[in-house]
Amino acid sequence: MKLWMLGNRLTTEMYERERFIEEADKYGIDFNLVFADEIDLIVSRDDRKSIRYRNDIVSLPDSILARTGSGTGYFNLSVLRQFERLNVPTLPNSAAIEASKDKMYANQILAQAGLPIPKTMLTRFPCNTELVEKQVGFPCVIKVVTGSHGAGVYLCETPKQFEDLSELISSLDFKNSMIVQEYIKESEGRDLRVIVIGGRVVGAMQRKSTDGSFKANISRGGQGEAYDVDDQMELLAIQTAKVLGLDIAGVDLLFHSDGYRICEANSSPGFKGFEKALSINVPEKIFDYVKLRIPSLIHR
């Protein structure tokens, strides 16, 4: 099987890169890590030659593993769409990645599906603090529209803090919109990362802040530990991945007094802390799914 992994030089962690290469070798997979800036697209009727890799025409892979996540820009999406036009399966596909990386759009999809999310509001500058207080309340969480690893996420405890932070964000880029979200007190400093592959939960990890922050991301110093998967957690994670169209997803859940709330879903979840906490081989699970998804590749 010839498998390409489309990565992002800035956001694809070295640990993940090395783990995929290591496991691909064990599987006997012809694996290649590629980046969008190594690819040129020529759109014409001669489709099979419309992709150049490092300036050369090369045989197309059997499948593309997309690991660009929230850092997926226009060019990355264009590359994935071109492979899809050539009937090369991309996992996840471009539409699912685009939906999940836009936090507001993802919440709209989840809400339409009747899934539990924190109350969410999209606001623009100048922000109406009174409306935010009435509709969402304080404390509240401010998020940029795209982002990962806890970047661009802030806690505002009072209207004054909200106004000051809004002014700062506006001064940096007045065109930006931002998301205001209900603060879930029960989940302060902790959350759950559930990895879903091919519609199945492979495990869950509780992340805890170690520095007093309300954010618990492992990449920001949080600690991870194995967490037992219950029925509600499993159902929510699977439904979240399904409605967003994600074959592979890291679903983040917040603790709530009546169960859980869906925080977000990542199309290329990091798994260094996950593997350490659960002793689960994530690349192996992904490669198993790729072979099941594309049965014709099993005996190649």
Query: Could you report the per-residue pLDDT of 79-99, keeping only the tens digit for each?
Result: 999 999 999 999 999 999 999
Beta strands in the chain, from DSSP E residues, in sequence order: 2-7, 30-35, 39-41, 51-53, 56-57, 63-67, 90-91, 120-123, 140-143, 153-156, 178-182, 190-197, 200-208, 223-226, 248-256, 259-266
Average the pLDDT over 108-133 and give the result.
91
Of the chain, the percentage scoring pLDDT greater than 70 comes to 89
**pLDDT given for residue 207 in this prediction:** 93
**pLDDT given for residue 150 in this prediction:** 52
Average the pLDDT over 231-247 and give the result.
97
| Vertex 70: Cα angle to 67 and 73 (nearest 5) | 85
Q: Is the pLDDT of residue 1 over 90?
A: no
Q: Which amino acid is at 66?
A: A
**Which of 57-61, 119-123, 152-156 shows the lowest per-residue confidence on average (mean pLDDT)?**
152-156
**pLDDT given for residue 175 in this prediction:** 56
**Which of 87-91, 126-130, 145-149, 152-156 shows the lowest per-residue confidence on average (mean pLDDT)?**
145-149
**pLDDT given for residue 166 in this prediction:** 80
**pLDDT given for residue 127 in this prediction:** 83
Q: Which residues pair with 223 in a beta bridge?
A: 208
Q: What is the widest separation between alpha-carbon atoms in the chain? A: 63
Q: Is the pLDDT of residue 194 over 90?
A: yes
Distance (Å, whole) CA 75 – CA 147: 17
**pLDDT given for residue 299 in this prediction:** 44
Of the chain, the percentage scoring pLDDT greater than 90 comes to 62
Average pLDDT over the chain reads 88
Q: Record the pTM.
A: 0.88
Q: Is the pLDDT of residue 300 over 50?
A: no
pLDDT (tens digit, 9 = 90+) per residue, 22-49? 999 988 899 999 998 999 998 877 666 7
What band does 250 get if pLDDT is binned at 50, 70 and 90?
very high
pLDDT (tens digit, 9 = 90+) per residue, 252-289? 999 999 999 999 999 999 999 999 999 999 999 999 99
| Vertex 117: Cα angle to 234 and 113 (nearest 5) | 75
**pLDDT given for residue 154 in this prediction:** 87
**pLDDT given for residue 9 in this prediction:** 82
What band does 177 get if pLDDT is binned at 50, 70 and 90?
confident
Q: Which amino acid is at 243?
A: V
